[in-house]
Structure 1
Amino acid sequence: MTAAEAATTHLEWKGAVRIIRSLFPPIDLFEDIADPADWPLLLSAEQKTNPRIMATIGNLDLVPADRRVGGPGASWLMASFTHVSPDRPSRFSAGDYGVLYVGDRYETALFETIHHHARFMARTAEPPGWTSQFREIVLNVSGDLVDLRAAAADDLLDPEDYAPAQRFAAQVRASDADGIVYPSVRYPGGECVALFYPDCAAAPMQGRHLDYHWNGSAVDLVRNAGTGAVFRVVDA
């Protein structure tokens, strides 16, 4: 399938969910009340006294000026687009541009992140135990997205080989679509979006804090850090 052959739909999700690592602090520039149009001037002034500021903010040039977002919670939307690397590819990016991945519900986001966290833990041969804390971000999604939910797109949804999906996504992004909506590969019945611009998401609010337990071969437990409740992970 090519981008030209795929159908496009306007999608509106309220209360969608993204789960991220809690170790990343808010980025002051994105959280500030200043207009995003003024960020380059503010950044230039800040660099004169803080040469490490770019390491925190990332590459702002990767986000078109008219698609940047600011204000409370904006770090959760912007950081995925300014901190990219070929060393961190994903299903719909080879690492040369950012993508904001969001699930249609908590369970979808949970199983997606459990899978990727388990791959990291196995690759780095981490010992068993409770691992890094995660946080749930609840947000709204709005955009014109290429729709793979009813398409014959098995090659784009391969559980392990991302190369076809990356090539397809590059075409979609070049066509000025806002992103892609697709069936979750890790949670049957769930749906995900891959957003190419931060302004396709809005109203991010922090939800639960979560801990994942690594047993040496899989993430087998999830703990709600606020209530202390522990849930066993069962294959979806």
Structure 2
Amino acid sequence: MTPLFSRIALVDMHQSVMRNIVSICYSQDLFDDLTDDPHLWELAQTVEDDVKPPTYRSSTPIIDRPFEDADWFNAIAWPFKHWQASRFSDGTYGVWYGSDSVETTIYESAYHWYRGLLTDAGFEKMSVSADRKVYSVSCDAALLDVRAAAVEHTDLVHRTDYAFCQTVGARVHREGHPGLVTPSVRRSSGENIVIFNPAVLSNPRHHCQLTYRLEAGQIAVQKQPGKTWFTLEAAAL
């Protein structure tokens, strides 16, 4: 571990980072199981808004708050409130992952989506689709740069074994560093931004909506409904 950290530099990042999350194109009202009356849905939502403490404080709350609160929670806060094991976390703390481009987020997220389908026997042989939303999020932080070190410490970019990366993540989290920049494992030309402190993230903006469609061993990625942007070989991810 010491040889790795002795080779790590800092990168002063002030740029937008892409965050790709599960989403739906058309939302369902959360209270439609209680009543069929849309007016009562609105009343229930008003009551919830009155009693729920906001997670985001807008500078213009009357105009922006419901929308900015939802964007901030979806694009930034979620992984810090719902911990799970990942490449740089053993599940005992939250980690936020973003990428340098939409394309890199697709390679990364398509891999995990496909692996999730494999857990259901035979599911990968069916035609299935999923909706995704990509946010652009501002990142302002001095991040640990492990891109050069990954050439020698290849466990940083191991495709399936996360043990070494989780050890690195545990130290970064314990010592209070905001995050790191690392090569993408799924896309050779891509880079990922790994954040341990949500305070360095801000200004989430909706960038685009995507649909992943698995059929005949290929994942077709759509930016516009019915029009394939590009395809990925599922087994090669």
TM-score (normalizing by structure 2):
0.73
Look up the equivalent residue of 1:116 and give its one-letter code. H
Q: What is the identity, as a one-letter code, of the residue corresponding to 2:11? A: H
Q: 1:74 to 1:163 in 2, by over 3 A?
A: same
| Matches of 1:132 and 1:13, distance apart in 2 | 32
Q: Which residue of 2 aligns with 1:130?
A: 128
Give how far 1:195 is off.
0.2
SS state at 1:174 partner: helix
In the other structure, the counterpart of 1:50 is none
AA paired with 1:98? G
Q: Is the 8 Å Cα contact of residues 82 and 98 (structure 1) preserved in structure 2?
A: yes
**Deviations 1:67-112 (CA, angstroms, capped at 9, x unpaired):** xxx8462102011100114xxx110001111111000111111101
Query: Where does the alignment leave 5 or more consecutive residues of structure 2 unmatched?
Result: 28-48, 60-67
- 1:13 Cα deviation from its structure 2 partner: 4.6
Distance 2:77 2:23 in 1: 15
User: Relative to total residues, which structure has the larger helix share, 1 or 2?
Assistant: 2
1:109 to 94, 105, 110: 105
Q: Secondary structure at the match of 1:73?
A: helix
Aligned mates of 1:160, 1:131 — CA distance in 2: 24
State the secondary structure of the residue aligned to 2:185. Answer: coil
Q: What is the aligned-residue identity percentage?
A: 27
Amino acid of the structure 2 residue aligned with 1:194: V
Larger Rg: 2
Q: Deviations over 1:158-182 (max 9, x none)?
A: 1000011101110112122111210
Equivalent-residue separation in structure 1 for 2:197 and 2:218 (angstroms): 31
SS in 1 for 2:55: helix
1:6 Cα deviation after fit: 4.2
Cα displacement (A) at 1:32: 4.9
Contact 1:93 1:166 survives alignment (8 Å)? yes
Amino acid aligned to 1:188: S
Residue 95 of structure 1 corresponds to: 91
**Cross-structure match for 1:185:** 185
Per the TM alignment, residue 5 of structure 1 is displaced from its structure 2 partner at its CA by 2.3
Q: Which residue of 1 aligns with 2:41?
A: none
Q: Distance in 2 between matches of 1:13 and 1:219?
A: 36
Q: Partner residue of 1:212?
A: 212
Kindly provide the amino acid, as one letter, of the partner of residue 120 in structure 2.
T
Offset of residue 10 of structure 1: 3.2
What's the CA shift for 1:33?
A: 3.6
Matched, 1:11 2:9: no
Equivalent residue for 2:23? 22
Structure 1, gaps ≥5 residues long: 35-69
TM-superposed deviation, 1:228: 3.4
Q: Distance in 1 between matches of 2:180 and 2:7?
A: 10
Q: What residue is the counterpart of 2:156 in the other structure?
A: 156
Aligned to 2:42: none
1:233 matched to 2:229:
no
Tell me if the contact between 1:118 and 1:219 (Cα under 8 Å) persists in the aligned partners. no
Change (3 A) 1:81 1:196: same
* Contact map agreement 1:104 1:191 (CA 8 A) in 2: yes
**Equivalent residue, structure 2, for 1:40:** none
CA RMSD, aligned part only? 2.6
Q: Deviations over 1:35-79 (max 9, x none)?
A: xxxxxxxxxxxxxxxxxxxxxxxxxxxxxxxxxxx8462102011
One-letter amino acid matched to 2:78? A
Aligned length: 195
8 Å Cα contact 1:112-1:187 kept in structure 2:
yes
Write out aligned runs for 1:62-101 (5 A): 71=69, 73-75=71-73, 76-85=75-84, 89-101=85-97
